[in-house]
Amino acid sequence: MISVFVYGTLLVGEGNHFVAAPYVQSVQSGTINGRLFDVGPYPALLLTEGNAEQHVVGEWLEVTEDGLQAMDVLEGYYGPGASNNEYDRVWIRDVDGQREGWVYVYPSVAGLKAIDGSSWKEYDAARSK
């Protein structure tokens, strides 16, 4: 199984979870060091290793290799260093140190609005009111 930390539309109950759902073996909540930014219909993640003040809450999905490939397609990830990647896929560790795996990060958040708080679900629900 492959661990992937998700924090936006791939979360259980969100609009793109259906992409991963057929391949998910387990789901556990998690938290990583980072900051979310608003791209419109989905968030971007900036990792903030070493900054304990900025956290992102999400879920660790345990998926099959086919699940990782399906998420790569959704996230526009074509391989390490590919010039046409929309997101990069990098290795990350949960703040509790108990879990590690892949996460999709946006290559540049320049010009994007930072999201207050640590949860895309809460932010998205509040802006929809």
Q: Which residues are catalytic?
A: 75
3-class SS string, 54-115: CEEEEEEEEECHHHHHHHHHHHCCCCCCCCCCCCEEEEEECCCCCCEEEEEECCCCCCCEEC
Q: pLDDT for 35-45, tens place per residue?
A: 999 999 999 99
pLDDT band at 99 (very low <50, low <70, confident <90, very high): very high
Residue 97 to residue 18: CA distance in whole angstroms: 28
Q: Average pLDDT in the 74-99 region? A: 93
Mean per-residue pLDDT over the chain, rounded: 93
Residue 38 to residue 36: CA distance in whole angstroms: 7
Residue 28 to residue 49: CA distance in whole angstroms: 21
Q: Average pLDDT in the 102-110 region? A: 92
Q: pLDDT for 117-127, tens place per residue?
A: 899 999 998 98
Q: pLDDT for 48-80, tens place per residue?
A: 876 667 899 999 999 999 999 999 999 999 999
Q: Average pLDDT in the 92-102 region? A: 94
Quote the pTM value. Answer: 0.94
Domain borders along the chain are: 2-127
Residue 16 has pLDDT above 90, yes or no: yes
* Dihedral over Cα of 93, 34, 56, 95: its sign: positive
- Report the top-level CATH class of 2-127: alpha beta
> What's residue 108's pLDDT?
86
